[in-house]
Amino acid sequence: MMNYRRNRVQGGTYFFTGVTANRTPVFNSPSAVDCLRRSFSSVMQRFPFVIEAMVVLPDHLHSIWTLPDDDDDFSRRWRLVKTGFAKRSKSVPGLSVPISGSIWQKRFWEHTIRDGQDFERHVDYIHFNPVKHGYVARAVDWPYSSFHRYVRDGVLPADWAVDEEVLVGVGWE
CATH number at residue 43: 3.30.70.1290
- The burial class, CB within 10 Å (0-12 / 13-18 / 19+), for 41 is exposed
Element (H, E) at 136: none
Q: How far is CA 99 from CA 59, 78, 85, 143, in A?
A: 14, 22, 17, 27
Apex CA 168: angle with CA 166 and CA 172, to 5°?
Answer: 105
Specify if 163 maps to a domain: yes
* Confidence tier at 84 by pLDDT (50, 70, 90): very high
The verdict on residue 6 lying in a domain is no
Half-sphere exposure of 172 (CA within 13 A, CB side): 8
Band of residue 8 on the pLDDT scale cut at 50, 70, 90: confident
Cβ atoms of 21 and 98 within 8 Å: the answer is yes
104: CB partners within 8 A, 6+ apart = 18, 19, 20, 21, 82, 85, 86
Given pLDDT bands bounded at 50, 70 and 90, which one contains residue 3? low
In this predicted structure, what is the pLDDT of residue 170?
38
Reported as a single tens digit per residue, the pLDDT across 37-65 is: 999 999 999 999 999 999 999 999 999 99
Query: pTM value?
Result: 0.87
pLDDT tens profile 129-159: 999 999 999 999 999 999 999 999 999 999 9
Cβ-contact 156, 120 below 8 angstroms: no
pLDDT in tens, 85-126: 998 888 777 665 665 668 899 889 999 999 999 999 999 999
Please report whether residue 1 resides in a domain: no
Residue 48 is part of which domain span?
Answer: 13-169
Residue 49 confidence (pLDDT) = 98
Counting the structural domains of the chain, the total is 1
Query: Has residue 17 been placed in a domain?
Result: yes
144 is catalytic: yes
Cα of 10 vs its chain's centroid, Å:
21
Catalytic position from the list 14, 125, 135, 144: 144
